[in-house]
Structure 1
């Protein structure tokens, strides 16, 4: 056990975690030349296309130094704020962390928030300065920032380049020297933590575990502490580039276990596995339940696919524990699910994965956040959907979730970023200069304002230099109204939104204009209206497709023309009573990109 080291790699987006992980695998010869490619651990097509890590990936390396063999278990984690739950789970399975900082960009918001996660779990932090081979690298200044942040000595900071491989052997030496060996008792009853799982069509659910105490052998009977269910350990092993079966896994090991479970709801991340014969007395302190930030309805395009969609979502939840969903129905879209996501990127990735991995074609409704409604009778309840809103006469007030946002940027962009935050109803609580040209802005703002396009605007205003991180701080009362969209007087529940009173008028007008472009013309006029309660605040009309019925009347009496027009008018009126308006899929998506 003294020769095992478990560590993860944490950093902000694009600071070179996956590239550095590639070099570590290359130097330890875990990956052969034939298997070597960029982002070895990112095995999803989506991750390669976008150049981001979505899932944390575990892999085991062998390393020999001073005549001793060491086993290094590496977990590469995502950097995007939407996948921070992956990071917190990876950290729970480790004793040490490599904190990677880009020497051209310096410390950014996600660097700080991931660092705090690691410090809370009492991990040994090894700071690494990456990308030192770039001509615009500024290692001395960035080292000062790291010393300020961590309070470590300058000599403790390692310099490396993931691209050229410079400094990688020193990182491996530092991991062996500085990261503590796992603590635990081999003789104690088995106690293992599930930190991830994945679904395999042939083997059932493959569960990734970190063993805290005791050991597990192939063929053991194990049980889950929280659900009290018992299983037969069909196969245990370690995670190399492929899964490698072993006879036994003992304390400190990170590996996988196949229990032949077919129903995806039985495995929960954070669950404790123990031995049936000799169980441990208490569960491991798992991680906190995930709190979804953004809610949206996901509906199958064909209502017959509802059960398939449920099965796909359950399999996806195994692999992404931060997804939450519950069934709901909509008048416009039929049966579907109300899903909770950690952010808009998370929502986009889930939609893409449903399409690629399970062939599910889905419609996603307008995303929103959860609100708390207080009625005049004193009842309090949560609203995840605008249709849950009580009658305006019985409503007392609504509270919306607020976040504390930290933005780190170059000082030249401060003015325009302040304007952006103020337009999103943000209030500045702090402004701090980290160096002469880097500023940290702290804002308190409503979560509902940032879920749409805040991040994109932040990046474009700051030319990609600003970084953004946020966490929820509670609920505050707000003047919110429900904006309904009516087509020929019929409400479309999937397009209704909860919005702040000050923005309702302009948003309603823009929405009607956009829908006018997207809804195809019919044989009758379509009235598109934005309404708050009974009050109409905006209107557009999609004109009917008309045939020129008077074309055959050349000259002659005007009454002949009028007779034909009246006849057409009656026909249109009759058609309007029986006709229904199809809202195209594009309309649901366009509402998200309104600006």
Structure 2
């Protein structure tokens, strides 16, 4: 174990984590040049196109040190950078002894950089700071050094300057890993104790579980058990990532690798869970395990109602590989049969939608995202509501609780006032504290309802700060709030799919925007269509779509005015009758109007 090093790479989105692993693969000769491609570890098309990592990717390389001539085994875990996947980052950090803190020289320290650094410090990891993209013309190395120094107190002389794209300074970084990161400790002869830090589904072999072994060893034929659910399995294969999956005889204390044990679903191999020997288990699991719960909910309906069954099968296949995705059947009078889906956040929702469209060629309609509310009824019953259509009647409600998050925004000082105004006045946030984050950077900490930041907050923040501000948030609990359900009536008929839950102070302004937007999107009919918003038992906003008019007076050339009045009266009565029996066809764009309500303000 003396020659083993386990590290993770932490950074904000698009700061060059995956590019750095590409160069390490090249320098260590782990991959042949003819097989090399950019973003080698990113296996999904979405990851490649957007330049983001969605799934963690472990990697084992061998590097011969220039200093002592010994060969070292380096296990690297490339982590996702987005806030939606912060639990995966946390568990990846629990599997290693050191972390490379990568900061983009042109962007400096960002919100995820700070959040992930604090996570690494909580796990007592040895942090190796490195400034990336020093070859860019707009790189500001001196300022970035000051920011890192301020963040973790490491003097600028010890901060490495690299270019992952050009390969500058990458060998020095590998030498630094060998020198500073401690070798793993653990008892090879003890009872098996291993951490699951990721898992993926293979349609031929079942679930492939990514593990870090802390004590003991695991080999083919061993009976293993997962701590959270007590399920037992027999190990079929053990292996490591070099970077392809390579079978080995056994994994022992200090190793990072994978096991295949005939596990049928990813939800049975939970991230953060402990694996032990089923015959001789350990008494206590590893710390830090928690069940990942969806934070954002939305209705998902097939573009063509007949494809409901195909959508169900597609979601089931996605669920095999993504245990965080939750879905159950739902029905909307306007959109027909579909599903209510739970996601970790907006990026997760976007990725699921795009994967359905690409991998399964499904066209789907997503309704506006919502959060999960707790409703205490007057009869003492507590309800969990994540669909506005199922929000109980106001007369039966005692109290409503909504999820709150701690929101951190890193920004240059000149945008401070605008962002504070956005969060406190528009988004119902409360200021907690401000901190200095190094040269020309300030951290603002707020407590904000989650519902306020899943809507249009990110776009507004970027617009107000000219793209310089970045954000990170974490769930802190439920708090009592004054919320009402705003129902939308089209031609006096309620349309559940368009309902929203809003704070009493904002109900009117949101209802006003929504009815005006719907009036633009719903086409004219032969009769007048009233669009109304109802909250607290009364109509609070209305917009009217005028009827298509036929010029019935075109054939009247002169004559008595009563003749014209008769024709107009007859037309009026016809329109009134038509409004009573006519059906309003609502286009699919209207159901996405909820998402577009804030767009005009952002522009």
TM-score of the aligned structures, taking structure 2 as reference length: 0.90
| 1:440 alignment counterpart | 443
In structure 2, do the counterparts of structure 1 residues 96 and 310 end up closer, same or farther at CA, with 3 Å as the change threshold?
Answer: farther
Which of 382, 385, 388 is 1:383 aligned to?
385
User: Is the 8 Å Cα contact of residues 218 and 234 (structure 1) preserved in structure 2?
Assistant: yes
Aligned-partner Cα distance in 2 for 1:237–1:524: 69
User: Is 2:419 the partner of 1:417?
Assistant: yes
Superposed CA deviations along residues 220-267 of structure 1, whole A, max 9, x for unmatched, are 443434434343433322223322222322222222223344445433
User: Is the 8 Å Cα contact of residues 196 and 274 (structure 2) preserved in structure 1?
Assistant: yes
Which of 249, 252, 258 is 2:251 aligned to?
249
User: Is the 8 Å Cα contact of residues 273 and 289 (structure 2) preserved in structure 1?
Assistant: no
Q: Summarize the alignment of residues 505-584 of structure 1 with structure 2, pairs less than 5 Å apart.
A: 505-548=508-551, 572-573=575-576, 575-584=578-587
| 2:35 alignment counterpart | 35
User: Is 2:444 the partner of 1:453?
Assistant: no
User: How far 1:592 moved relative to its partner?
Assistant: 0.8
Aligned-partner Cα distance in 2 for 1:144–1:499: 43
Which of 341, 347, 362 is 2:349 aligned to?
347
User: Is the 8 Å Cα contact of residues 88 and 271 (structure 2) preserved in structure 1?
Assistant: no
Aligned-partner Cα distance in 2 for 1:301–1:392: 33
User: How far 1:326 moved relative to its partner?
Assistant: 4.0
Aligned-partner Cα distance in 2 for 1:286–1:403: 20
Q: Summarize the alignment of residues 310-321 of structure 1 with structure 2, pairs less than 5 Å apart.
A: 310-321=312-323
| 1:428 alignment counterpart | 431
Superposed CA deviations along residues 350-378 of structure 1, whole A, max 9, x for unmatched, are 21122222333322222122223334455
| 2:588 alignment counterpart | 585
Aligned-partner Cα distance in 2 for 1:460–1:575: 46
User: How far 1:569 moved relative to its partner?
Assistant: 5.3
User: How far 1:572 moved relative to its partner?
Assistant: 4.6
User: Is the 8 Å Cα contact of residues 294 and 369 (structure 1) preserved in structure 2?
Assistant: yes
SS state at 1:83 partner:
helix
Aligned-partner Cα distance in 2 for 1:554–1:375: 67
Q: Summarize the alignment of residues 15-54 of structure 1 with structure 2, pairs less than 5 Å apart.
A: 15-54=15-54
Task: Please say which of residues 571-580 and 79-88 is displaced more in the overlay.
Answer: 571-580
Task: Please say which of residues 429-438 and 550-559 is displaced more in the overlay.
Answer: 550-559
User: Is the 8 Å Cα contact of residues 191 and 211 (structure 1) preserved in structure 2?
Assistant: yes
Paired residues, number: 595
User: Is the 8 Å Cα contact of residues 103 and 137 (structure 1) preserved in structure 2?
Assistant: yes
| 2:400 alignment counterpart | 398
User: Is the 8 Å Cα contact of residues 150 and 437 (structure 2) preserved in structure 1?
Assistant: no
Task: Please say which of residues 286-295 and 512-521 is displaced more in the overlay.
Answer: 286-295
Q: Summarize the alignment of residues 350-369 of structure 1 with structure 2, pairs less than 5 Å apart.
A: 350-369=352-371
Which of 484, 488, 492 is 2:491 aligned to?
488
User: Is the 8 Å Cα contact of residues 419 and 461 (structure 2) preserved in structure 1?
Assistant: yes
Superposed CA deviations along residues 46-105 of structure 1, whole A, max 9, x for unmatched, are 112112222221122121223322221111112222222221121122221111122333
Which of 316, 321, 338 is 1:336 aligned to?
338
Superposed CA deviations along residues 156-175 of structure 1, whole A, max 9, x for unmatched, are 32221212211111111121
| 2:58 alignment counterpart | 58
Aligned-partner Cα distance in 1 for 2:387–2:331: 11
In structure 2, do the counterparts of structure 1 residues 589 and 386 end up closer, same or farther at CA, with 3 Å as the change threshold?
Answer: same
What is the alpha-carbon root mean square deviation over aligned residues?
Answer: 2.7
User: Is the 8 Å Cα contact of residues 85 and 322 (structure 1) preserved in structure 2?
Assistant: no
Aligned-partner Cα distance in 1 for 2:333–2:189: 59
Aligned-partner Cα distance in 2 for 1:194–1:343: 22
User: Is 2:66 the partner of 1:101?
Assistant: no
User: Is the 8 Å Cα contact of residues 429 and 448 (structure 2) preserved in structure 1?
Assistant: yes
Which of 461, 465, 475 is 1:462 aligned to?
465
User: Is 2:474 the partner of 1:471?
Assistant: yes
Superposed CA deviations along residues 261-315 of structure 1, whole A, max 9, x for unmatched, are 4445433333333344444444333532224332222233345544543443344
Uncovered stretches (5+) of structure 2, i.e. residues with no partner: 599-603
Q: Summarize the alignment of residues 99-138 of structure 1 with structure 2, pairs less than 5 Å apart.
A: 99-138=101-140
User: How far 1:178 moved relative to its partner?
Assistant: 1.8
User: Is 2:184 the partner of 1:160?
Assistant: no
Task: Please say which of residues 553-562 and 408-417 is displaced more in the overlay.
Answer: 553-562
| 1:288 alignment counterpart | 290
Superposed CA deviations along residues 201-225 of structure 1, whole A, max 9, x for unmatched, are 3333322222222223234443434
Uncovered stretches (5+) of structure 1, i.e. residues with no partner: none
| 2:375 alignment counterpart | 373
Aligned-partner Cα distance in 1 for 2:69–2:326: 49
| 2:144 alignment counterpart | 142
User: Is 2:497 the partner of 1:497?
Assistant: no
Aligned-partner Cα distance in 2 for 1:587–1:6: 51
User: How far 1:452 moved relative to its partner?
Assistant: 0.9
In structure 2, do the counterparts of structure 1 residues 274 and 71 end up closer, same or farther at CA, with 3 Å as the change threshold?
Answer: same
